[in-house]
Structure 1
Amino acid sequence: MATSFAPTFAEAPPRASKTAGLPTARLAAFSTLAAPVAAAQVPITNFLPAFYAQTFGISLAALGMIFLAERLWGAFADPFVGVLSDRTRSRFGRRRPWIAGGAAIYGLATAALFFPPAGVTPLYLGLALFAFYLGWAMIQIPYLAWSGEISGEYHERTRIATFVTVASSVSLLLVMLLPALIDQFRPGDDRLRMAGMGAVILATLIPAAFLTLRAFPEAPAPSALRQKGPGLVTTLRLIAREKLLLRVIFSDMAVTFGQGVRGALFIFVVTFYMELPKLGAALMLAQFIFGIAAGPIWMTIAKRFGKHHTAIAGELVQVAINFALLLLAPGSVGLLIALTLAQGLAQGSGNLMLRAMVADIADRHRLETGEDRTALFYSAFSISMKAGMALAVGVALPLVGAAGFDPAAAHNSPAALQVLLIVFAVGPALAHLASAALLRGFTLDQETHEKVRRELDRRAAATA
């Protein structure tokens, strides 16, 4: 992608005032791209391992290694996408070309994963996931950076993150609705279930990309931007020096690890431990419905107490919920439903707040160095997401497999099922506890950030 042309967008994005905020309709249009991007995440984590294990006979150990390798590849590539996006020069802006190219790759890879041919091999799965995560990075990193550049207001960024989170949750609601319905009328038809979810993703990708790319103009790249981006070692040093960014990165890694373990084992627990095979997709659907309702609730709490305090509170709630899962017993449907819905209400707090905090950290970095590295910081943040998911799948699936659990077997021993439940409950509980601990003493609160923004605005006015 060319990096030597000056941008032609002279118009800056509409600045949010403290009273009016960004136009709701345009913000809703911008957030639509989160729908197809997020829609594949839970199916790939929750349904795809079980589908490829049961339909094509790929072992849990092989699946764990494939997912671990692919997520680590994504974590390695993301910083380069972030740096190149920050340095890109084109008449379309810095973010748009990457999003458009990534959408094409993402669509092709989604079709390969959700509509596989007969006789799939581990090599086929590995190549499809390689392309999927490349396309995902090309969309997600510039998109997150752009979302942090639309407004510099502390609470308005929380509002933007809330719109994006709600759009993600709505897409997950749609993509989970089909397998829930299919399980009621065609139980056991895994191919139909995967095809339905893939169809939702592909059908929403093109219109969502169109709406997002036209929602807001991009702000001109900062004039101090150097034409040559930093190398790998310099990039790693830049990230390592940002202590607050490292806190957010590792906190999010813990969050995604907990969510990944829970997601990878959820269908197995409901189907084999709880002996409720028809309830798995329906429970996940209900969880995401409650997750949609929780987005505005957490946004309201954050306005009162601040982002990092809200994130800590949400993570501690998750710790209690996950430890309570140890009380589950076969047939305890009421407790399972209650804990699943509670997770839906709590799960969005960390994801939402941490994403909004990255843009604040990028502002402080720009004030201190004069360099705009928003996309780089979001790419580093995405490393935590992929590394957390990689570790979750790479640890959870081989661990329960080593304990004797086999999803293709007609029966599993009580000991294997008990280990399945323990990993499902304790792993996420400890991860959310670590996430909360990492956010203690976070210093970039609303008052500090407002001082940063005032100084940035003063410098911009002086330059103008």
Structure 2
Amino acid sequence: MTAAPPPTASELVRFSAVAIPLAAAGLPLGVYLPAIYARDYGLSLTTIGLVFLLGRLWDAVSDPLIGTLSDRTRTIHGRRKPWIAGGGAVFALASIFLFFPPFGVTPLSLGLVLFFFYLGWTAVQIPFQAWGGEVSGDYHQRTRIATYQTVVTASALLLTLILPTIADQIRPGDGRLQLSLMGGLVLASIVPALLSTLTALREPPLPALPVARPRVRETVAAVVGEPLLLRVLASDFAVTLAQHIRAALIVFFVSFYMGRPEWAGGLFLFQFVFGIFAGPIWLRIGRRFGKHRTAVAGELVQVAINLSLLFVTPQTFGLLLALTLAQGLAQGAGNLMLRAIVADVADKHRLESGDDRTGLFYSVFSLAGKGATAAAVGIALPLVSWLGFDPKASNSAEALDGLLLVFAIGPAVAHSLSAALIARFPLDEAAHSEIRRRLDRDSPDLAFAE
């Protein structure tokens, strides 16, 4: 059959819209909510940390479960859309209680809200990412689709970062107001975003459903037995680890090492402004050199930027601004390319096994990123503390130098590891084109948009 034309820019913007409420909720969840719940609602940091940890453990179960179930879903509306619609409803309801909590919040009530919040989030995010990998079977079109998702996400993150600043201008230090503004963005965008995503594109035809139901052991074996997927997961774990080591320490670095606490939030915002332009730049590079080579190049650029931080001093704030600008333009290159590669690996797996596990592969890809986020905090904060840094005390020059070393070298090492893991990746454009040719020959009714 004749392949459908590639989706237009307008269609891809509409399709990517659901990334707005997901991003708008994700940033406060990791940065603002713990502090606000502790300061304004009276929960202890230990309790909050434990509840959020249990939520992440729940992710370890729900991500691959929903990925596998969405792969096997068969409805007249497709297999991804019902999950996105149902998950969006749960996500919206849980967001009301999370961002507009009643008085008298307890650990149990917070735990229940987070349970349903993470469930709804996963039910939207995993099928959405898998669907994005299925929109086209073309090697470069997949990078283009992932780029639109990345740019929309970066734009939503930028807007979300602005809201606490606005709240501080209205009522400084009012955590409830900050929470209300950020929650308002989530709730105002969720319904239009869902409608936009669900109506922007048609799902591709459904592949044949295997007769036997997958078992847990078989599902794990499918992941562990796919070495190219494991390389992609490890590479993305490393790049995400690098990004969140930097995120965990940037406020301390700017406030204490640079002595510019007034820039602690602004510098993060400055980076995201230029991050919006990063996606199209790396898309062009990816078209020229291929995904894995572009991922390697992006990671090596990040290594150079982070090592250059070693030359920053409190007197060279301009150099820090320049490196932050470069960081913004380079950020996400690895994540973007690796996300697009997951769909290519899923094609290879389907050709070899006959099973379509795109949703499962994207679920473990998401899980690897979440694990790296948690690991970054668990590595960076104890390490700088061991080196003598204490945000509650007067720090010696040696302690501040230790903070600088971890802030600069930690991400540089992780980015280097990410590049090494994905270098010489065998599934390039030529290899993937052959896989697509054989898949389309064996299942001509499943031709993708090229």
Letter in 2 for 1:226: P
1:194 matched residue in structure 2: 179
The residue identity in structure 2 corresponding to 1:383 is: L
SS at match of 1:368: helix
Structure 2 residue identity aligned to 1:413? N
Q: Does 1:323 align with 2:323?
A: no
Cα shift at 1:462:
8.3
What is the match of residue 425 of structure 2? 442
User: Aligned-pair distance for 1:96?
Assistant: 1.2
* 8 A Cα contact 1:68 1:391, kept in partner: no
Bigger shift: 35-44 or 368-377?
35-44
- Which letter does structure 1 place at the counterpart of 2:340? A
Structure 2 distance, partners of 1:462, 1:53, is 55
TM-score (norm. length: structure 1): 0.87
Distance 1:405 1:104 in 2: 44
In the superposition, relative to structure 1, how do residues 115 and 392 fare at CA in structure 2: closer, same or farther (>3 Å)? farther
Which amino acid in structure 1 is aligned with residue 371 of structure 2? Answer: A
Match among 175, 189, 192 for residue 160 of structure 2? 175
Contact 1:34 / 1:164 at 8 angstroms: preserved in 2?
Answer: yes
What is the match of residue 32 of structure 1?
17
1:71/1:389 contact within 8 Å kept: no
CA contact (8 A) 2:206 2:446 kept: no
The one-letter code of the counterpart of 2:179 is M
Deviates more, 1:39-48 or 1:211-220: 39-48
Q: How far, CA to CA, are the matches of 2:445 and 2:7 in structure 1?
A: 25
Q: How does 1:13-28 map to 2 (within 5 A)?
A: 15=3, 17=5, 21-28=6-13
Asked if 2 retains the 8 angstrom alpha-carbon contact of 1:34 and 1:168, the reply is yes
Alignment of 1:239 onto 2:223: yes
Q: After TM superposition, give the deviation of residue 63 of structure 1 in Å.
A: 5.6
Distance 1:83 1:287, change over 3 A: same
Structure 1: runs of 5 or more not aligned = 1-11
| Counterpart for residue 266 of structure 1 | 250
Measure, in 2, the Cα distance between the counterparts of 1:62 and 1:392: 20
Determine which of 76, 80, 85 is the counterpart of 2:65: 80
1:151 aligned residue: 136
Distance in 1 (alpha carbons) for counterparts of 2:261 and 2:99: 21
Deviation at 1:183, TM superposition (A): 4.5
- Per the alignment, in what secondary structure is the counterpart of residue 276 of structure 2? helix
Q: Which residue of 1 aligns with 2:410?
A: 427
How far does the alpha carbon of each residue in 1:75-110 deviate from its partner, in whole angstroms, 9 at most, with x for none? 232111111001112232211111112112222333
Post-superposition Cα deviations, 1:212-260, rounded to whole Å, max 9, x if no partner, equal 011112223212x125531111111101111111000111111111222
Give the partner amino acid of 1:247.
R
Give the one of 222, 243, 263 matched to 2:207: 222
Equivalent position amino acid for 1:372 in 2: D
- Post-superposition Cα deviations, 1:410-431, rounded to whole Å, max 9, x if no partner, equal x443365554444333322221
- The change in CA–CA distance for 1:251 and 1:402 in structure 2 (over 3 A counts) is same
How far, CA to CA, are the matches of 2:377 and 2:110 in structure 1? 15
Pick one of 441, 444, 448 that aligns with 1:458. Answer: 441
Work out whether 1:358 is the aligned partner of 2:342.
yes
Distance in 2 separating the partners of 1:52 and 1:418:
33
Q: 1:181 Cα shift?
A: 3.7
Q: What letter corresponds to residue 407 of structure 2 in structure 1?
A: F
Measured in 2, the distance between the counterparts of 1:421 and 1:104 equals: 44
TM-score by length of 2: 0.89
**C-alpha root-mean-square deviation of aligned residues, in Å?**
2.8
Measured at CA, do residues 108 and 15 of structure 1 come closer, stay the same or move farther in structure 2, by a change above 3 Å? farther
Aligned position for 2:195: 210
Of 372, 386, 391, 2:375 maps to 391
Alignment map for 1:251-262 (pairs within 5 Å):
251-262=235-246
Identity of aligned residues (%): 55
CA contact (8 A) 1:64 1:393 kept: no
Q: Matches of 1:43 and 1:403 in 2, distance apart?
A: 29
The one-letter amino acid of 1:246's match is L
Partner AA of 2:32 in structure 1: F
State how many pairs are aligned. 446
Tell me how far apart the structure 2 counterparts of residues 163 and 383 of structure 1 sit (CA, whole Å). Answer: 22
Matched letter for residue 435 of structure 1: S
Q: 1:413 — aligned with what? A: 395
- 1:210 match: secondary structure: helix
**Aligned-pair distance for 1:158?**
0.8
Q: 1:92 aligns with which of 71, 77, 87?
A: 77
CA distance in 2, matches of 1:424, 1:58: 30
Cα 1:81–1:257, aligned 2, differ >3 Å: closer, same or farther?
same
User: In structure 1, what is the Cα distance between the partners aligned to 2:331 and 2:25?
Assistant: 18
**1:6 paired residue number:** none
Q: CA deviation at 1:211?
A: 0.6
Change (3 A) 1:16 1:384: farther
Q: For 1:280 and 1:33, locate their aligned partners in 2 and report how far apart those are by CA, in whole Å.
A: 29
Shift of 1:281: 2.9
Does the 8 Å contact 1:319/1:428 carry over to 2?
yes
| Contact residue 87 and residue 124 of structure 2 kept, 8 A | yes
> Within the alignment, does 1:250 sit opposite 2:234 as a pair?
yes
Cα deviation, residue 310, structure 1: 0.4
1-structure distance, mates of 2:438, 2:18: 32
Cα shift at 1:463: 9.4
* Cα contact 2:207–2:446 (8 A) shared by 1: no
User: Structure 2: which 5+ runs fail to align?
Assistant: none
Instruction: State the distance in 2 between where 1:352 and 1:165 align.
Output: 7
Deviation at 1:68, TM superposition (A): 4.2
- Name the CA distance, whole Å, in 2 between partners of 1:298 and 1:279: 28
1:32 is paired with a residue whose SS is helix
* Structure 2 Cα separation of the partners of residues 400 and 121 of structure 1: 32
Match of 1:142 in 2: 127
Contact 1:16 1:151 in 2 (8 A): no
- 1:265-307 C-alpha deviation (Å, 9 max, x unpaired): 3334334443434323322222112111111100000000000
